[in-house]
Amino acid sequence: MTTSSPLPLIGVPTSTMQMPGSQFFTYTSGKRYISSLNEFSSCMAVQIPSLGEDYDYADLVNRFDGIMLTGGRANVEPHHYGGPPFPEDEAIDPDRDATVLRIVPACIEAGVPILGICRGLQEMNVALGGSLHYRVNEVPGKNDHRMPRGDDVTVDDIYALRHPVKLTEGGMFQDLIGESETMVNTLHGQGIDRLGDGLTIEAVSDDDIIEGIRIEGHPNFAAGVQWHTEFYPEREEHLLSRRLYEAFGKAAQERAQSR
β-strand partners of 175: none
pLDDT at residue 3 tops 70: no
In tens, the pLDDT along 60-98 reads 999 999 999 999 999 999 999 999 999 999 999 999 999
CATH of the domain at 225: 3.40.50.880
Contacts of 57 (CB under 8 A, 6+ apart): 102, 103, 106
Give the active site residue among 43, 118, 145, 188.
Answer: 118
80 is catalytic: no
Any domain includes 88: yes
Any domain includes 165: no
246 is catalytic: no
188 is catalytic: no
pLDDT at residue 2 tops 70: no
β-strand partners of 12: 47
**Confidence class for position 122, pLDDT limits 50, 70, 90:** very high
Any domain includes 158: no
In which domain, by residue range, is 122 found? Answer: 9-132+190-201+214-258
Distance CA 142, CA 208 (A): 8
Any domain includes 179: no
Q: What is the dihedral of CA 90, 92, 97, 99, to 10 degrees?
A: -170
Any domain includes 175: no
**Confidence class for position 14, pLDDT limits 50, 70, 90:** very high
Yes or no: say if 210 and 192 are a contact pair by the CB < 8 Å rule.
Answer: yes
Domains of the chain: total: 1
pLDDT of residue 21: 85
Any domain includes 138: no
Give the active site residue among 77, 202, 211, 230.
Answer: 230
Percent of the chain exceeding pLDDT 70 equals: 98
In tens, the pLDDT along 101-121 reads 999 999 999 999 999 999 999
Any domain includes 154: no
Yes or no: say if 187 and 162 are a contact pair by the CB < 8 Å rule.
Answer: no
Any domain includes 151: no
Give the active site residue among 133, 188, 228, 238.
Answer: 228
β-strand partners of 117: 225
CA proximity to 37, closest of 250, 249, 255:
249
Instruction: Indicate the residue type of 24.
Output: F
pLDDT at residue 128 tops 80: yes
